[in-house]
Amino acid sequence: MPASRSLRPLALAAIAGALALAGVGCANAGKGAAGLFSPRTANALTVATAQIPDPGFWAGTFAHPTGGFEYGLAKQLAARLHLAHVKVIEVPFHELVRGHLGGADLALSDITITDERAQHLDFSTSYLRAPPSIVVRPGTEVADVNAARDLHWAVQHDTTLKVALERSIEPTTQTLVFEHQREVLVALEVGRANAVMLDLPVALAYAHESPHKYAVAAQLQSEAQLGVALPQGSDNVEAVDSAIRALKAEGEIDRLGHQWLHANIEEGAAEEVPVLRAEE
Amino acid sequence: MLALIELSSPKGAPWEFLVVFAVLLLGPVLFRRAGIPGIIGLLVGGYAIGPHGLSLIGAGNNTLPDLGQLGLLYLMFVAGVELDLNLINKYRRSTISFGILTFAIPFVLGALVGFALGWETLAAILLGSLLASHTLITYPAVKEAGLASDPAVATAVGSTVLTDTLALIVLAGVAGSVAGGRSSVEVAAQVAVGLVVLIGYSLFVLPQLAGWAFRWLGTERAVRYVVAITAFLSAATVAELFGIEGIVGAFFAGLGMNRLVPNEGQLMDRIEFFGGAVFIPVFLVSVGFILNPSVMVKGETLGLAGLFIVACLGGKAIAAQISARLFGFSRSQAGLLFSLSAAQAAATLAATVIGFQLGLFSSAVVNAVLVLIFVSVLASTIVGTRASARASSPDGPRPLGTRIVVGLGEPELALGALTLARRIARADGGVVHPLLVVPEAAPFAPREALARLSEVVAAAGVDGQALTIVDRSVLHGALRVGRAQEATLVLVAEPVPDDDAQSTATPLAAGAPQRAWERSPAPPVAVVRGNADRLGVVRVRLDDDELESPSIAAEMARRVASGSAQRLDEDHAEWSELLAPGDVTFVSSELGDTLGKLPGVGDGLVVSTVAEWLIREESARDTPPEVPGDATLG
């Protein structure tokens, strides 16, 4: 049998298979190249966050948010996903990281992407680098890790910051652990603690807003990143992920960083904060 | 005792390289034994060791992807440097037509698929462009089958320039429109300027720099090889400066270096060796590395993949069929067209990843494209293997400059002849083999002679293998080796004039057939008298009967002077007085007459063709005619 004839059944089968698959593909029409988003509330993006106001990230109130990096990001996401409104609800941070979003489509709350949290949540690609940083009262020096070890520390419960503090600094005194970020900062202000650990973009925003109260002394060597958290198994992950990549490519995330965090976290101000030296 | 031994699990660079090289070694062998093309073995091997297989190399590893990227640039460089530019020029009409068809049909079909699925305009256009490009994955196999100069192969290879450039222009336009908010006009302008700069750099600056490097950095094998690698990496960098994919730069670098790297030369041998053994297979392994069957077999992914396969392979098949009918190609040649233009890898992957980074594509689209890549490589390999087996290798006349043997007695006095030979060979992408002929009576000192020869060869920019032979005369030795090496031209530098030859010389037979050298079983021979560091004015003096039909002398003069040789007629009886140092005159009158007018060394060069009867007479004195294998030193 000529070679071309022996190939013919194979070729016909391959073409038939491809056409059948193409039929399946046509059945998926309308999902969009970048994924389809189905909101819980019609024509609105429902966003969960733990704290408003949160300097640099959220301004206003839950009922009437007025600005901030993550609020701006939520609005951009809504526009990108063809939704007219952004609805914000309050959910405690420890609930968020356990995958309880209170019925929201997604959470924007300075959430660092970790493997442990990924067991309860689906994450988008990251939108901001966020290494742990040491915030002190202006005038307090933190020369190296030995000096940091002897400070009195405060940190928020259930955060990657607490883990970083325990692993990288190993404080010699009892660390104060609080439920909310604002309690951590109050402890620093009133002198119960002389150092606290915050995500670098958050720390820079606080230091910019209240330079007489806070100074960013150092950052830890880390690849920590903030990401959008979605309920595990959500069908919306592809669409949100694509939208975040598009916002990055379009420069929108940089623009929001400049507007609300007063610095380009990816390149500029973050590099001016010294990395904590391991030993003196 | 055993308790003292603490073994750790294998990791780090040695382990990763071991795993990759094990795939390079075993993948193709095992699959070929099962009757499956070796390329598939590399792809499947890449998947097996990757994060979605046995995870012997993790997802965060950059070594294999980076090596794969280098392999991809290498592949495109090899495709460019191996192209027979004369063949591309000869088939330029079919090349351009097929290039347009094989881009336009899948592009339109792909864009229609995107629109039918309700995608954004930019996403649909990007999908069309990524389906329209192709990668020459099956080219090494087709070349191995001896089909590199087949018209259909030349057409498909040449069309790669067009399709990939167009696809990457669309990609740059889409990327520029999304990122940075630039208008399509601005993006198109940047790409256009980038292409002009890239072409100028690759085709004009790079050959000059590389030629200079070859001459001044010597003939060391390693140095010449590194120059070639540096050349295509520099062109890829220039391309990326303008937002053009590096593979376009590597391809143009190959085109620019095409004449400097003859296909039969030692440098090409090294390029092919390392490319075939390591770089190109590693690229294929790196493609397999990203395959993720668990995602690829999802319904949505497979559905999209089916549409992409129909649009891409269907479009490529239609383009191949139309082109085959338009240009009278056979069915097997149509198969070669399809095989070479259907495989998706490099440009497709680059465009898909960029589309993903821009947020235009979801991961389902990326995985569907990976399915397409796998299927297209499989289909093109199977079709290519079948078509290669059915196609016959073209057996046309070999051009004059394909393989030139330059016989010489004194290396230092042969620079002019070698430079002439290089120019004659360059037009055909041919190779020049310098041959040192040591007289039988002379003391033989091969090391010293070869060392001196190497210096002269480097100065002349010649890349062929240096040979030595002991014989009774330079002419005789050159003739014997020329026949043994199947040379297309033998040049003899500084021969000692033979009294008998001068006295018995008669003119070449009148009415010689047109381009007789292409049909003659013995290579044509010319003697070169004189020497020069660089060439000056080029003249050619033809007999009356040669004015009507092309002669070897005229052809050599045309090549050396790039078509601007001054023609002398019989009024210039004292043509030898016109010679200044470096000037070269080609003559094709009888040997005795010519040799009588040869200048002294330093006055210029005279190149005289040798009468066929003399060649036959010299050859007849050979007993035995074969060149001993151990006479060749390298």
pLDDT in tens, B522-546: 678 887 877 777 788 888 877 666 5
Phi-psi region of B522 (alpha: psi -120 to 50; beta: other; left: phi over 0): beta
Spatial contact of B427 and B89, defined as CB atoms under 8 Å apart: no
Q: What is the mean pLDDT of residues A87-99?
A: 94
Spatial contact of B75 and B140, defined as CB atoms under 8 Å apart: no
The closest alpha carbon to B219, from B462, B422, B437, belongs to B462
> In the prediction, which pLDDT does A11 show?
59
- pLDDT tens sequence across B295-313: 677 788 888 999 999 999 9
Contacts of A9 in chain B (CB under 8 A): none
> In the prediction, which pLDDT does A107 show?
96
A15-24, A32-41, B85-94: which has the minimum mean pLDDT? Answer: A15-24
A215-224, B104-113, B488-497, B507-516: which has the minimum mean pLDDT? Answer: B507-516
Tell me: cis bond preceding A53? Omega within 30 of 0 counts. yes
Q: Same domain for A123 and A232?
A: yes
Q: Which residue has the higher pLDDT, B346 or A130?
A: A130
Contacts of B382 in chain A (CB under 8 A): 7
Q: What is the mean pLDDT of residues B198-207?
A: 93
Residue B489 to residue B403: CA distance in whole angstroms: 7
Of A4, A238, A250, the CB nearest to B331: A4
B361 to A20: CB separation less than 8 angstroms, yes or no:
no
> Which of the four pLDDT bands, split at 50, 70 and 90, describes residue B3?
low
Residue B143's CB is within 10 A of a number of other CB atoms, namely 21
Residue B105's CB is within 10 A of a number of other CB atoms, namely 22
**Two structure tokens written together for A98:** 């356990």
Q: Same domain for A200 and A149?
A: yes
> Which of the four pLDDT bands, split at 50, 70 and 90, describes residue B64?
confident
pLDDT > 60? residue A268: no
Q: What are the residues whose beta carbons fall under 8 Å from the beta carbon of A212, sequence distance 6 or more? A: A138
A160-174, A183-197, B91-105, B142-156: which has the minimum mean pLDDT? Answer: B142-156
In terms of Cβ atoms closer than 10 Å to its own Cβ (0-12, 13-18, 19+), residue B205 is middle
CATH number for the segment(s) B69-390:
1.20.1530.20
B93-107, B115-129, B461-475, B581-595: which has the minimum mean pLDDT? Answer: B581-595
A159-163, A187-191, B43-47, B491-495: which has the minimum mean pLDDT? Answer: B491-495
Q: What is the mean pLDDT of residues B430-438?
A: 86
> In the prediction, which pLDDT does A10 show?
55
Q: What is the mean pLDDT of residues B470-478?
A: 83
Cα-flanking dihedrals φ and ψ of residue B408, to 5°? -150, 150
> In the prediction, which pLDDT does B596 show?
56
> In the prediction, which pLDDT does B515 show?
42
CB contact residues (below 8 A), chain A span 6-25, against chain B? 7, 14-15, 17-25
Contacts of A243 in chain B (CB under 8 A): 359
pLDDT > 60? residue A7: no
Is A66 a domain residue? Answer: yes
A169-173, B86-90, B100-104: which has the minimum mean pLDDT? Answer: B86-90
Contacts of A247 in chain B (CB under 8 A): 359
Measured between alpha carbons, how far apart are the two ends of chain B, in Å?
Answer: 54
pLDDT > 60? residue B622: no
In B, minimum Cα distance to A250 occurs at B179
> In the prediction, which pLDDT does B516 show?
41
> In the prediction, which pLDDT does A21 show?
57
A91-100, A117-126, A254-263, B108-117: which has the minimum mean pLDDT? Answer: A254-263
> In the prediction, which pLDDT does B518 show?
44
> In the prediction, which pLDDT does B633 show?
34
Q: Same domain for A246 and A200?
A: no
For B216, the 3-state DSSP assignment is: helix
Q: Same domain for A117 and A51?
A: yes
> In the prediction, which pLDDT does B543 show?
67
Is A276 a domain residue? Answer: no
- pLDDT tens sequence across A40-88: 999 999 999 999 988 889 999 999 999 999 999 999 999 999 999 999 9
> In the prediction, which pLDDT does B171 show?
79
Is A18 a domain residue? Answer: no
Q: Where are the beta strands (DSSP E) in A6-64?
A: 44-49, 59-60
Is it true that B69-390 and B403-631 share their CATH fold? no
The closest alpha carbon to A132, from A107, A105, A168, belongs to A168
> In the prediction, which pLDDT does B505 show?
34
Residue B299 to residue A56: CA distance in whole angstroms: 43
**Two structure tokens written together for A163:** 């883990």
Q: Same domain for A103 and A179?
A: no
Q: Same domain for A106 and A53?
A: yes
> Which of the four pLDDT bands, split at 50, 70 and 90, describes residue B183?
low
Spatial contact of B381 and B339, defined as CB atoms under 8 Å apart: yes
> In the prediction, which pLDDT does A1 show?
38
- Angle subtended at Cα B632 by Cα B627 and Cα B634, rounded to the nearest 5 degrees: 165
Distance from the B334 Cα atom to the nearest Cα atom in chain A, whole angstroms: 12
Q: Which residue has the higher pLDDT, A245 or B40?
A: A245
Look at the block and give the residue holding tokens 């601005």: B186
Q: How many CA atoms lie within 13 A of B366 on its CB side?
A: 24
Query: Which one of B362, B365, B385, B388 would you mutate to disrupt binding with A, by most A Cβ within 10 Å of its Cβ?
Result: B362
Q: What are the residues whose beta carbons fall under 8 Å from the beta carbon of B354, sequence distance 6 or more? A: B171, B175
> In the prediction, which pLDDT does A87 show?
95
A21 to B360: CB separation less than 8 angstroms, yes or no:
no
Q: Same domain for A123 and A56?
A: yes
Query: Which runs of consecutive H residues, i.e. helices, occur in B179-279?
Result: 184-200, 206-216, 221-241, 246-257, 266-274
3-state class percentages of chain A: helix first, strand second, coil last, to nearest 5: 40, 20, 40
User: In chain A, how many domains are there?
Assistant: 2
Is A113 a domain residue? Answer: yes
What are the beta bridge partners of residue B436?
B408, B468
Number of A/B CB contacts below 8 angstroms equals: 121
pLDDT > 50? residue B634: no
> In the prediction, which pLDDT does A109 show?
94
B54-58, B438-442, B557-561: which has the minimum mean pLDDT? Answer: B438-442
Distance from the B385 Cα atom to the nearest Cα atom in chain A, whole angstroms: 11
Residue B454 to residue B62: CA distance in whole angstroms: 41
In terms of Cβ atoms closer than 10 Å to its own Cβ (0-12, 13-18, 19+), residue B412 is exposed
Q: What is the mean pLDDT of residues B12-34?
A: 89
> In the prediction, which pLDDT does B503 show?
34
Provide the 8-state DSSP code for A58. Answer: B
Q: Same domain for A97 and A151?
A: no
Residue A6 to residue B382: CA distance in whole angstroms: 12
B305 to A21: CB separation less than 8 angstroms, yes or no:
yes
> Which of the four pLDDT bands, split at 50, 70 and 90, describes residue B618?
low
Residue B527 to residue B18: CA distance in whole angstroms: 54
Residue B405 to residue B433: CA distance in whole angstroms: 5
Q: Same domain for A214 and A243?
A: no
> In the prediction, which pLDDT does A280 show?
44
Q: Which CA distances in Å does A159 have to A50, A97, A199, B94, B579?
A: 13, 9, 10, 65, 89
Of A25, A34, A244, the CB nearest to B304: A25
Query: Which CATH number belongs to the domain containing residue A100 in this structure?
Result: 3.40.190.10
Average pLDDT, chain A: 85
- pLDDT tens sequence across B481-499: 888 888 888 888 864 444 4
Spatial contact of B478 and B490, defined as CB atoms under 8 Å apart: yes
Q: Same domain for A100 and A234?
A: yes
Contacts of A14 in chain B (CB under 8 A): 379
Query: Which one of A7, A8, A28, A241 would you mutate to disrupt binding with B, by most B Cβ within 10 Å of its Cβ?
Result: A28
Is A36 a domain residue? Answer: no
Instruction: Determine which helix (DSSP H) or strand (DSSP E) holds B419, and give its type and residue range.
Output: helix B415-426
pLDDT > 70? residue B156: yes
Is A173 a domain residue? Answer: yes
* Distinct helix (H) and strand (E) counts, chain B: 26, 9
Distance from the B361 Cα atom to the nearest Cα atom in chain A, whole angstroms: 4
Residue B52 to residue B596: CA distance in whole angstroms: 78
In B, minimum Cα distance to A2 occurs at B390
Q: Same domain for A65 and A82?
A: yes
Q: Same domain for A231 and A125?
A: yes
Of B303, B357, B375, the CB nearest to A27: B303
Q: What is the mean pLDDT of residues B242-249?
A: 80
Pairing state between β B467-471 and B538-541: unpaired
**Two structure tokens written together for B394:** 């073209």
Q: Which CA distances in Å does B538 have to B38, B420, B631?
A: 51, 11, 35
Interface of B with A (CB under 8 A): 113-114, 116-120, 123-124, 127, 178-181, 299-300, 302-307, 309-310, 313, 331, 355-365, 375, 379, 382, 386, 389-390
Concatenated DSSP letters for B63-125? HHHHHHHHHHHHHHHHHHHH--HHHHHHTHHHHHHHHHHHHHHHHHHHHHHHHHTT--HHHHH
CATH number for the segment(s) B403-631:
3.40.50.620
- pLDDT tens sequence across B378-400: 899 889 888 888 877 665 667 78
Domain range for A211 = 132-219
> In the prediction, which pLDDT does B625 show?
44
pLDDT > 70? residue B597: no
Spatial contact of B539 and B562, defined as CB atoms under 8 Å apart: no
In B, minimum Cα distance to A125 occurs at B357
